Amino acid sequence: MIRAILIHPDPRLKKLCDPVTQITADLRKLAADMLETMYDAPGIGLAAPQVGVTKRLLVMDCMKLPDAPRPLVLINPAITWASADLATYEEGCLSIPDQYAEVQRPDKATVRWMDLEGALHEETFGGLWATCVQHEIDHLNGKLFIDYLGLMKRQMITRKMEKLKREMAREGR
């Protein structure tokens, strides 16, 4: 089931999300819905608060290859190491549609997480995967990529999103 993606500004996108304490049927459904919603958008990552659930869960797939997908579900992800080397990517966000800006982050990041079977994983991500996983973990801490930008740029994007939300409300979307 495709879920509605919250658009910034929304108080649920600014929350420190709660750790997942139990893998329930509801959580499995949420993860499956989030993957479906992400692929449909289309996007390469989606965090639970973006669909209004303030729990520490995210999904991602940076393969961008329909015939070779790598759907990942990360529960309670934590960055255990980040490189001193930085990389700059032009980032976007499904909660901030059609707005892009360059953000600098560590070039590589090691992340530990639990999967839907309760198994622990640890993997070092690089390139686009590293940028994406850091962007999504930021969401779990109530942080958006525009928070890395200067005040003027951030306010300009926020005003555009407020206008978009008014238009969407008017059109009943």
Q: Which of 36, 117, 136, 171 is catalytic?
A: 136
Where is 164: in which H helix or E strand?
A: helix 151-170
Is residue 136 part of the annotated active site? The answer reads yes
Q: How many residues bind Ni ion (CB under 5 A)?
A: 1
Check residue 146 for interaction with Ni ion (CB under 5 A): no
* 30 CB neighbour count, 10 Å cutoff: 21
44 token code pair: 């390469």
Minimal distance in Å, beta carbon 132 to Ni ion? 9
In 3D space, the residue among 93, 89, 88 whose CA is nearest the CA of residue 58 turns out to be 93
Q: How many CA atoms lie within 13 A of 52 on its CB side?
A: 8
Cα(15)–Cα(151) distance, integer angstroms: 20
Check residue 93 for interaction with Ni ion (CB under 5 A): yes
Decide whether 41 or 120 has the Cβ nearer to Ni ion.
41
Decide whether 34 or 93 has the Cβ nearer to Ni ion.
93
Cα(85)–Cα(103) distance, integer angstroms: 14
Minimal distance in Å, beta carbon 14 to Ni ion? 13
Q: Which stretch binds Ni ion (CB under 5 A): 33-41, 59-67, 85-93, 124-132?
A: 85-93
Check residue 34 for interaction with Ni ion (CB under 5 A): no
Minimal distance in Å, beta carbon 109 to Ni ion? 16
Residue 76 in contact with residue 104, Cβ under 8 Å? no
Decide whether 23 or 62 has the Cβ nearer to Ni ion.
62
Decide whether 74 or 93 has the Cβ nearer to Ni ion.
93
The answer to whether the Cα torsion of 125, 130, 134, 135 is positive or negative is: negative
In 3D space, the residue among 43, 52, 113, 51 whose CA is nearest the CA of residue 78 turns out to be 113
Q: Which stretch binds Ni ion (CB under 5 A): 28-36, 79-87, 93-101, 121-129?
A: 93-101
Q: Which stretch binds Ni ion (CB under 5 A): 2-10, 20-28, 90-98, 162-170?
A: 90-98
* 94 CB neighbour count, 10 Å cutoff: 19
> What residues are annotated to the active site?
136
Positions in the binding site for Ni ion (CB under 5 A): 93
